[in-house]
Amino acid sequence: MNKNSRAFLQAALAACVFALAASGAAAVYPEKPIRFVVPFPPGGGVDIVARSLAEKLSPRLGQPILIENKPGAGTTIGTDAAAKSAPDGYTFLVGPIGGQAIVLLLHKNLTFDIRRDFAPVTRLGQGTIALIVPASSKAKSAAELVALAKASPGKLTFASSGTGALIHLTGELFSQAAGIRMTHIPYKGTTQILPDILNGRIDMALDSLPAYLPHLKSGKLRALAVASRQRSAQFPELPTLLESGFPGVVSVTDYALYAPAGTPKEVIALVNREIGAVLQMADLRAKLAAQGTEVSGSTPEALKDELLDEIVKWAKVIRDGNIRAE
């Protein structure tokens, strides 16, 4: 065997060894614990979804999944931390879809861009936003509430969990579609809204259902409609705002999984597939349904398209409402 032939065989053998090593590395993913960054405090909707998902996904992947809560600055602290993480398949962001679109639009000095710095993995599900009024309200439907608002422009009040939050912009979306003017009252969260809406000091809120459920069941509050595309499984008798005659008024508290940009496509495909299987588990679906969350997966491409659609929708609301971040 001449020198050139020997060199060629050595190079070919090295290439085969490298290929086998690479395929073996991919085959054993994951080799260590995985981290889910949640840019919200423990106990909220995103946190509950993340922990419920991790509990079921961990045995399938054969590694612990650690939840790291990094709240603050309108989700930007946790999102920034996830964006700066190594794109090796061991860090993921669990966060909203619409909420991330709003952050991108309202905060001009972000250190990250959800479109550039993250790879979509899968949608996880959504929670229902409902139009809530005190039991003392004269309005028995969304149309009646709009009629009251038109009769007294600017007099009716609507609550939100803070200026620029999803709930605030949902109220603005409804107001713009209905052609009414209401006064926005920002709070620091739903727990602060509840006493005032229960006592009738606030006229309405378009807010996520779970915190209101006990008061709706007791009759102290009344839901007039839901803001999702389909009726709620928990309250099938409630019409959607689309059905009620308000085109384009669609808003949900949605949840998705993102990976830092550059994460290997085969890892994203594997995690997407495994989460898709987990989301079909009856006990997980029942557990999250009790929290007002309907689970649903997606392809990475569908999640990317949904995020881009949300950016377009909320950009118009922000522009037409002349909304500025606090």
Q: Which CATH class is domain 128-226?
A: alpha beta
| Residue 102 tokens, joined | 């709003």
Looking at residue 239, what DSSP letter applies? P
Question: Domain map of the chain by residue range?
Answer: 32-126+253-321, 128-226
Contact 288, 125 (CB under 8 A): yes
Does this chain's domain 32-126+253-321 share its CATH topology with 128-226? Answer: yes
Indicate yes or no: pTM above 0.95.
Answer: no
Q: Does domain 32-126+253-321 have CATH number 3.40.190.150?
A: yes
Express each pLDDT in 155-172 by its tens digit. 999 999 888 889 999 999
Residue 49 pLDDT > 90:
yes
Q: pLDDT by residue (tens digit) across 171-197?
A: 999 999 999 999 999 998 888 999 999
